[in-house]
Amino acid sequence: MEFPFGQPTDAIIQFAYTVPDLTAGMRWWTAELGVGPWFVNERIGGEGSTYLGEPGRAEFTLALAFSGHMMVELIQTLDDEPSIYRDAHERRGYGFHHIAKAVPNVSDEVARREASGASVLFHDRVPGGEVFFVEAGEDAPGMIELVEDNGTTRGIFTSVWRASVDWDGSRPVRDLAELLPVR
């Protein structure tokens, strides 16, 4: 079985990178690699999120796009609050941050990983459900993001992918809200 955007359901669906400047990052990925269009969520995190088990305050902006069947995410921090993005940048610099997998029951997957000794580093509610960032092990290049696999997240990710198919370069930056279900 596979996602509508072509990845098998048990595969990695996204590679994510931190950048100092989201606009410059999107511009580079588009100019050098033809990735786009980008769908931007201007402000995420903050109230309602948790980081290392404590209420999160950090806010960041992110952009999603596809290259073929693989989603690329770029993240820019918006403040100096402790966060998975700021702390990773301070340790390793900007660049690769995490891979994402969509799972049908994110709570069960988190419980399974915690039972194996992994810790949840970050949790937040997003359109369509929840995301959890978990440790990936000492030898891992970054973290693992677990995304709830449901109709809403599939719809959003598939819409981002569809926009990339035969993209003519017009409107290289778009608002992610264009793809969100109306509430």
132-171 pLDDT, tens digit per residue, is 999 988 888 899 999 999 899 899 999 999 999 999 999 9
176 part of a folded domain? no
Select from 62, 37, 58 the least CA-distant residue to 47.
58
Residues 6 or more apart in contact with residue 161 via CB below 8 angstroms? 4, 5, 6, 66, 69, 71
Give domain status of residue 110, yes or no.
yes
User: What is the predicted pLDDT for the residue at 8?
Assistant: 82
Quick one: pLDDT at residue 1?
64
**Is residue 179 one of the residues assigned to a domain?**
no
Q: How many domains does the chain have?
A: 1
The whole-number pLDDT of residue 163 equals 97
Q: Which amino acid is at 149?
A: D
The CA distance from 13 to 180, in Å, is 19
Q: Which residues of the chain have pLDDT under 70?
A: 1, 182-183
Question: Which CATH number do you get for residue 148?
Answer: 3.10.180.10
- Residue 23 sits at the vertex; the CA angle it makes with 147 and 146, to the nearest 5 degrees, is 10
